[in-house]
Structure 1
Amino acid sequence: MPHDHADAPHALLPSDPALRVKTLETVLARKGLIDPAALDEIIDIYQNRIGPSNGARVVARAWSDPVFKEQLLADADPVLAGLDYYGRQGEHMVVVENTPLQHNMVVCTLCSCYPWPLLGIPPGWYKSDAYRARAVREPRKVLSDFGVTLPEGTSVRVWDSTAEVRYLVLPMRPEGTEGLSEDALTELVSRDSMIGMDIPKVFA
């Protein structure tokens, strides 16, 4: 299946990638090819204003509204479009539900396909060669590295995100949250839990 940026072996750059990015940005700005202010605005939108908050709101609503959850799992695209969570890097979404019997995790084995409108900018580890390789070969060990230990009876399914299909994990709702509002539930949902690398928890 086709991937975005399939020619991108830059997931693990040599020394100091931040410096390389800044240098490239400076060169492009001096040549008039990019507007630094516009670039900062785009980064701010995805990193701070979108971030993972859109996805967290979707998860919280699915936890609270059984009809919404059923529609989301059946055909996510129209449901997300109805919430204005769509656009480039957010096309062809599939939502997969964690259950006591199956835990889902997402990887892009060739590059870094990722649902930007829901989760914002992908984390560095998601784009790394190590994660992309190990998530497929040894998913339980990778989960353990993230502090996630699953019960023996829970299987792990790894979904390969591509330019054609991107995935959002619907984590299990934590026990003891029955009386919480959607806003309160949203606060329990981390970005990593929507990739399958964390489990929402209630902290006393």
Structure 2
Amino acid sequence: MENPPEWPSDEDSDADDPCALEGRGRLRAAGGRLAAPVRPDRCIIALDIDAFYAQVAELRDGSLRGRPVAIQQKAICVTCNYEARAFGVHKLQRIAEAKRMCPRLVLVSGEDLTPFRAVSSAVFELIRSAFTPHVQRLGMDEVFLDVSDAVDALEAGCPLEPPSTPSLPWAGFVFAGQPHAKATVERQVPLAALAHGC
């Protein structure tokens, strides 16, 4: 297995971009190394709303909170919440099997996608207006945010406007790959915090 490459030298990099050089210099001084070459000009965050359909069902019917819930399409459990997962229920499972594993499982019809689309659109607009206009949606529960401008501002020492929402705990991982690095973040953020009032 090859050793991972070191950060490129300043001579090989964008000499006209002092923020990029400064950032690489700080990382090099701290002993940082790249696992694979990355594109230094873009920073993309992938946000995936876990158990999205089940969370929408709980938003629409508060009595479902804390109970095992599965979204049903035809004879399949398309997704479920964590309470149902604790019983071994999982997505793309046959309803009969899911009910055997969890007799108290509450089934919510997912045939009409209208409420899910409405919440997805509201979350998308909130992210676009609160964080960055550079957002791309992939399906109903996943968005990609280009936060390169915010990263550039941080590297240049410019203060950023603090978010209007309270700080929430998170854990992140950066996976370097071709042609760019992908970061994933796990956050215990209820959908209600993003789509309040939908």
TM range (shorter): under 0.3
Between Structure 1 and Structure 2, whose CA radius of gyration is higher? 2
Q: Give me the TM-score of the superposition, normalised by structure 2.
A: 0.28
* Greater share of strand: 2
Q: Give me the TM-score of the superposition, normalised by structure 1.
A: 0.27
* Greater share of helix: 1
Higher relative contact order (CA 8 A, sep 6+): 1
